[in-house]
Amino acid sequence: MGNPQEKEVSRMIERTLVLVKPDGVQRGLIGSIISRFEQRGLKVVGMKMVWIDERFSKKHYAAHVGKKMYPMLEKFITSAPVVAMAVEGIHAVELVRKIVGSTEPKSAPIGTIRGDYAHVCYEYADLKQISVKNLVHASGNKEEADQEVGLWFSETELYEYESAHDRHVL
């Protein structure tokens, strides 16, 4: 049946979705953003650059489609390519959220991606009638992560391999 300890360890290994949004791509921050995750022992198991359309935006942001801010969000997310990554590691969903920082860049601590590279607040974005440019999207919880990774990646686009972190961090 398998070692119970190994099953518990296996349960802790999660996959989550990270998107480098159009502002991150256009500002040339892709490499800097990816390195934040790799430096903490997370493994990129899938990655691609995609220019999403309105139809796919509605699938990805299904929970927001009826909200007042959705048209601004859709306009922004479809304005330039995004880099989609499936990231894997111990409690990856929670760790990625810590690395990324608060959704509102103004509130994100220095040392997080949003805290180091962005500073816009909701109030400013609302006055300008634009989406908050916060560089990245990160799945909010395990269920959302599973759904989003499945939406963005087929099984053949996800890879299993051993990294140095598997030997030294995990």
DSSP-derived secondary structure letter, 9: H
Pair 82, 23: CB distance under 8 Å: no
The secondary structure element, H or E, covering residue 143 is helix 142-152
DSSP 39-95: HTT-EEEEEEEE---HHHHHHHTGGGTTSTTHHHHHHHHTSS-EEEEEEEEETHHHH
Could you tell me which of 82, 71, 74 has the C-alpha nearest to residue 27? 82
Tens-digit pLDDT profile for residues 51-87: 999 999 999 999 999 999 999 999 999 999 999 999 9
Give catalytic residue positions: 137
Residue-level pLDDT at 10: 74
Instruction: From first to last of the 170 residues of the chain, give the pLDDT tens digit.
Output: 567 777 777 788 999 999 999 999 999 999 999 999 999 999 999 999 999 999 999 999 999 999 999 999 999 999 999 999 999 999 999 999 999 999 999 999 999 999 999 988 999 999 999 999 999 999 999 999 999 999 999 999 999 999 888 887 65
d(CA 149, CA 93): 12
Instruction: Please choose, from the candidates 24, 26, 163, 81, the residue with its C-alpha nearest in 3D space to the C-alpha of residue 34.
Output: 24
pLDDT of 107-117, one tens digit each?
Answer: 999 999 999 99
3-class secondary structure, 121 = coil
What the chain holds in terms of domains, given with CATH numbers, is 13-168 (3.30.70.141)
